Amino acid sequence: MSGHPGLGRVGGARKDVSVPAGVPAAPGLFGSVCGQPPAGPCVVAHRGASQEAPEHTLAAYRRAILAGADALECDVRLTADGHLVCVHDRRVDRTSDGRGVVSALELAELAQLDFGTVVPSGPEDVDRDARTILTLERLLQTVADAPRRVALAVETKHPTRYAGLVERRLVACLDRFGWAHPRLGTTTPVRVMSFSTLSLRRIRELAPRLPTVALLDRVPLRMRDGSLPRGVQSAGPSIDVLRAHPEYVAAAHAHGHPVHVWTVDDAGDVDLCVELEVDAIITNRPRMVLTRLGRSVG
């Protein structure tokens, strides 16, 4: 996630929320985006605890779970041989000791690279989990095996040469865990996020009960009243948007849309999110955010 603010004034104080006709109720505003009510907003570990361990590595996600994060966040890209892997950038150059485009490399080639070369501040991991490419399949298994309920936000990255194949493979992968088409009366721990409206539309067509989040580094004119594209449950504005236009949260809530804010790594921004009653805080620093919220940290 990256971007800059851009929003017209939408104004208005937060008011009691009623869902407009035709808008499906979404977890978060009417319950918790994480499946159980935390004290305040849900805390989502962006690429894992990515200021403690290399981003998108199993070590980073395990640290986030141990810290007490309510949810994890990952980006997914499709390899040349059809595997979904957790990598943010189009290329592997920044996060590994290799070079090349993810979509042009096979999983076996990615497995030979060291993804622990960019070590954040904090204690270094020496185990393989901090250095190996992470597949979405393995991350899903980690979520399934967690000692408590942990949610997962999956961001699809576009544009890509594989277009709609990304969403088809994603839904197929979630299906293997029973999370793409939850039975009546049950919920999935997964939600899909994207800056691409087309990607979210594909998800709605493939898995209508899978919650979706529209990521926004600016808010288009047609959505300045807090509305979102048809079938999308939640808004995902950047913290830059909220700093410049805090009234957007109330506007989105007035349309029945939970608000998931990225990427919140400053204590003052956490306080702003609490004041505005956002539903989820996406952060590289889950321990700091949990502490700021007065919640226990593992």
Which positions are catalytic?
46, 88
Q: List Cα–Cα distances, 210 to 5, 141, 213, 233, in angstroms.
A: 28, 18, 10, 10
Whether residue 93 contacts residue 106, with contact meaning beta carbons closer than 8 Å, is answered with: no
Q: Where are the alpha helices (DSSP H) in 75-227?
A: 107-110, 136-145, 165-175, 197-206
φ/ψ (deg, to 5) at 148? -145, 170
Dist. CA 64–CA 67, nearest whole Å:
5
CB-based contacts of 21: which residues, under 8 Å, 6+ apart?
none
First to last CA, the chain: 27
Residue type at 160 in one-letter notation: T
Whether residue 58 contacts residue 135, with contact meaning beta carbons closer than 8 Å, is answered with: no
| Coil/strand/helix, residue 109 | helix
